[in-house]
Amino acid sequence: MYRLLRAPLQPVTYSRWLHLCVPALLLALWMFIEPAAPWAPLLIVIPLGLVPWVRLAEGLQARFLLTPHDWDREESTISAVPSAGWSDRWRTLLWLEVRLVFTGAAWAPTVWLPMMTVELVTLALGHPLESDPMLPFVPPRWAAALLVPVPLILLIAMVIVLGQLITAVAQRLLGPSAAERLTALEARTEQLLERTRIARELHDSIGHALTVAVVQAGAARAAGDAEFTDRALCAIEETGRAALEDLERVLGVLRESKRPPSQGPTLAEADRLLESARASGAAVDAQLTGPLEKLPGPVTREGYRILQEALTNVLRHCGPVPVRVRVEMTAGRLDLEVTNPLPERSGVTLGGGSGLRGMRERAALLGGETETGPHEGGWRVHARLPLERIR
């Protein structure tokens, strides 16, 4: 009841009224041409409904006038694309027919009820009516004064009811088809996957840079050696510059720049990560086997991020401890292993954390797997990435 009483104060009520009255121009024009066949426009619009772009025009108009609150939203309940098949064409044709029927139902009251109000005002002022009055009966002067608002109330009620009905019909006949809903769902899924990937990129790159900077700064302060401090500052500068490059690349994706963003770092640049870890005080024993520069793009980029996150976790949770890195490219897969001893009070979580989950997700996207956890008294990250599916 509250919504019904509030409806006359809402602009959408009158935009829907306008939508109901727009086809009246066609009906009025036809009445001048052939008033004896008022049903003919129902036949005229048949070929129009089969034109694909008519669905687009009707959808845009319905969005703007019937659902102005969400007319520019991707999730709008009214589609605004051309007909993609015969199912859309038939639904558009049915919509045009139904719209004409609703226009006829709204047109007559829109004309007659205001004219009745004028006649009631005329009677209330004591003036006689002209011939052929619109009123079904001529009330006395006092009754005419009381009845003046009735036609307008009926008109507004009719506008509200027909507006809601035509909106419901538009959402049914002009709403997205099953194929459109599937396409929108796939696009939304791709968007969410891209956002997740970007979040992982930022976590791995910026997290690594901040971890190295914190470890280097703490070590330099504790050492009190000018030469060591210079090396630490150089390592912080190099790591920060690399992080800024990664950040700019990710922001380029977020801005949807027309220029494609540069590719991320690869395992061919693994020496940069290893030197950064060594500069932080970790004794890194690295063994890189195979032509890593020939790895498929997705494998080498995700492998780099897994190695980066593994080294970052070592520095963050264990500090400058000995680290063993083994990267081996075989005929069918890439093996990547990072092991390190655990300190007496280890901050490493057993399987939790976004970093460990991110490594597992990266491997799973390529059809591989990543194992993380205690191993022979230490901690191990072991990733196996297949090559056959990527080539």
What are 275-289's pLDDT values in tens digits?
878 877 788 899 998
Query: 18 versus 4: which is more confidently predicted?
Result: 18
The distance in angstroms from the start CA to the end CA of the chain is: 64
- Strand pairing partners for 129? none
DSSP 38: T
Q: Residue 33: in which H helix or E strand, if any?
A: helix 24-33
Six-digit token pair at 248? 């700019």
Q: How far apart are CA 207 and CA 372, in angstroms?
A: 19
What are 232-250's pLDDT values in tens digits?
777 777 777 777 766 666 6
Residue 379 CB partners (closer than 8 Å, separation 6+): 314, 318, 339, 340, 341, 342, 346, 348, 372, 373
What is the chain's mean pLDDT, rounded? 79
What are 31-52's pLDDT values in tens digits?
667 666 666 777 778 888 888 8
Q: How far apart are CA 91 and CA 52, in angstroms?
A: 11
Query: What is the pLDDT, as a whole number, of residue 353?
Result: 58
**Residue with the two structure tokens 């319905």:** 62
Query: 184 versus 50: which is more confidently predicted?
Result: 50
Six-digit token pair at 208? 């690594």
Cβ contact 103:159 at 8 Å: no
Six-digit token pair at 247? 């950040």
DSSP SS3 for 376: coil
Query: What is the pLDDT, as a whole number, of residue 213?
Result: 73
Cβ contact 378:342 at 8 Å: yes
| 384 pLDDT tier (thresholds 50, 70, 90) | very high
β-strand pairing of 323-329 with 284-289: parallel
| 6 pLDDT tier (thresholds 50, 70, 90) | confident
Q: How far apart are CA 291 and CA 289, in angstroms?
A: 7
263-280 residues labelled b (16+ CB within 10 A) or e (exposed): ebbbbeebeebbebbebb
Q: What's CA 106's distance to the chain center, in Å?
A: 38
Phi-psi region of 367 (alpha: psi -120 to 50; beta: other; left: phi over 0): left
Query: 215 versus 390: which is more confidently predicted?
Result: 215
DSSP 50: T
What are 204-226's pLDDT values in tens digits?
667 667 776 777 677 666 666 77
What are 256-272's pLDDT values in tens digits?
544 444 566 888 888 88
Tell me the longest C-alpha to C-alpha distance in the chain: 110
Cβ contact 369:384 at 8 Å: yes
Q: How far apart are CA 24 and CA 14, in angstroms?
A: 16
The beta-strand segments (E) located in the chain are: 284-289, 323-329, 333-341, 369-375, 378-386
Q: How far apart are CA 90 and CA 96, in angstroms?
A: 10
| Lowest-confidence segment of 39-48, 95-104, 190-199 by average pLDDT | 190-199
Q: What is the value of pTM for the model shown?
A: 0.50
Q: What's CA 263's distance to the chain center, in Å?
A: 24
pLDDT surpassing 80 at residue 86 = yes
- Tell me how crowded residue 216 is: count the other CB atoms within 10 A of its CB: 26
| 3 pLDDT tier (thresholds 50, 70, 90) | low
Q: What are phi and psi of 385, to 5 degrees?
A: -115, 120
Q: What number is the average pLDDT over the span 283-303?
A: 86
Q: Which amino acid is it at 390? A: I
Q: How far apart are CA 108 and CA 310, in angstroms?
A: 75
**Nearest residue to 308 via CA among 323, 290, 297, 296:** 323
Cβ contact 290:328 at 8 Å: yes
